[in-house]
Amino acid sequence: MHAGFSTLADLAARLRDLPAPDAAAHEAARVRDAQLTKPPGALGRLEDLALWYCGWRGEARAQVSAPQVIVFAGNHGVVAQGVSAFPPEVTAQMVANFEAGGAAVNQLARVAGARMDVHALDLERPTGDISTGPAMTEAEVIAALRTGWEAVAPETDLLVVGEMGIGNTTSAAAIALALFGGAAGEWTGRGTGIDAAGLDRKTQVVARAVAANAGATDGLEVLRCLGGRELAAMAGAILRARMMRVPVLLDGFICTAAAACLEGTQPGALDHTLAGHVSAEPGHARLLERLGKDPILSLGLRLGEGTGGVLAMGVVQSALACHSGMATFSEAGVAGG
Ligand SMILES: O=C(O)c1ccc[n+]([C@@H]2O[C@H](COP(=O)([O-])O)[C@@H](O)[C@H]2O)c1
Ligand SMILES: Cc1cc2nc[nH]c2cc1C
């Protein structure tokens, strides 16, 4: 399917006309939930997850049959400022590891029964150094958004987008600062494990990046100026999922920062998404709070790749197994329903 956008203005127009969940299916799912063999509300948040999923899929009794995780990789010019504990070659080396099945996310995707796809975006051509100017031209950000848009499989019914990109916690922190304000230090963390001196340097780089791109206030423009190709691809996939009414589980700090750019342009653009987890990168909890998202899991992960999102797929699948598989009070002959 043609992406249907060739400029950021086209994309902003698409964002103004997004599908909503199916209120009747949501209500039918709620009625069914009330009849299941448990005290009302006893499955806690699992009940909300099942209703959320049924509403977006337009089914009173839904199950996940084609979960997909897509890992996008990109390289960042800002690594020249000494903002990561690892060298940028690791991005391409990890792509090879994803393709060989050796990364953490490969194992978790297998456990979740999810299809996994990997897209490396122009790794040999890092984005511009955000501490001195914009990361991408409009043509570059559109190309990356389209890669994400086109990566969502037609049969997918639950999506996780993850990323790999040395230097990308600097991008994510700069995006959060540009969108939500505050001090650079509130959004900047250790990423892959930079030391204390490195963290000071990185905080200054984040502040300089936002100052150097001060014209960027709209979400999509923030994505172009302060993001990276893998962040733009994640945003494109999240938007495509919305058009397909496919629920999305967000991963960590970088994934959430990319998603926040859509919400920055169009409030409500992330209504089909939930936070799969809260990462150990301190800016992530703050960002989720700003987006009004309560994470499903909190396991101290700070890996990215989609790992936290894929783990939460298991929780959503469990919620739907209960919602669709449990007997009602009358079916089971249990008193009190
Ligand atoms: O998902 C997260 O919250 C997260 C937190 C810290 C680091 N990461 C991963 O680490 C890489 C970026 O870290 P850095 O230090 O190079 O900016 C990138 O490949 C991310 O997938 C991911
Ligand atoms: C080894 C390694 C694996 C990763 N996976 C996601 N980000 C990563 C960063 C590093 C350094």
Proximal ligand: closest to the CA of 169: 1
Q: How far apart are CA 255 and CA 71, in angstroms?
A: 10
For ligand 2, pick from 91, 99, 303 the residue to mutate: most ligand atoms within 8 Å of CB.
303
CA dihedral 221, 225, 230, 232 (to 10 degrees): 10
Q: How far is CA 25 from CA 30, 51, 132, in A?
A: 8, 9, 50
- Complex-level ipTM: 0.99
* Smallest CA separation from ligand 1 atom 20, residue: 304
The whole-number pLDDT of residue 264 equals 97
Task: Tell me if 304 sits within 8 A of 191, measured CB to CB.
Answer: no
Proximal ligand: closest to the CA of 83: 1
- Residue 115 pairs in a beta bridge with 68
**Model-level pTM greater than 0.90?**
yes
Q: Is 312 in the pocket of ligand 2 (CB under 6 A)?
A: no
The whole-number pLDDT of residue 50 equals 98
Proximal ligand: closest to the CA of 256: 1
Strands 248-250 and 115-120: unpaired
Terminus-to-terminus CA distance in the chain, angstroms? 47
Q: How far apart are CA 313 and CA 168, in angstroms?
A: 24
For ligand 1, pick from 98, 163, 168, 170 the residue to mutate: most ligand atoms within 8 Å of CB.
168
Closest by CA position to 223, among listed 255, 194, 195, 250: 255
Chunked mean pLDDT (size 10), the chain, 337 residues: 84 96 98 98 98 98 98 98 98 98 98 98 98 98 98 98 98 98 98 98 98 96 98 98 98 99 98 98 98 98 98 98 98 91
125 CB burial (10 A radius; 0-12, 13-18, 19+):
exposed
Q: Is 63 in the pocket of ligand 2 (CB under 6 A)?
A: no
Q: Is 95 in the pocket of ligand 2 (CB under 6 A)?
A: no
The whole-number pLDDT of residue 4 equals 80
C-alpha 193 to ligand 2 mean position (Å): 11
CATH topology of domain 66-319: Rossmann fold (3.40.50)
Q: How far is CA 32 from CA 40, 58, 280, 326, in A?
A: 11, 14, 37, 10
The whole-number pLDDT of residue 2 equals 62
Q: How far apart are CA 116 and CA 202, in angstroms?
A: 32
Closest by CA position to 51, among listed 244, 247, 240, 292: 247
Q: Enumerate the domain spans of the chain.
A: 66-319
Place of tokens 């409009």: 138
The whole-number pLDDT of residue 139 equals 98
Q: Which amino acid is at 214?
A: A
Asked if 305 is an active-site residue, the reply is: yes
DSSP 195: -
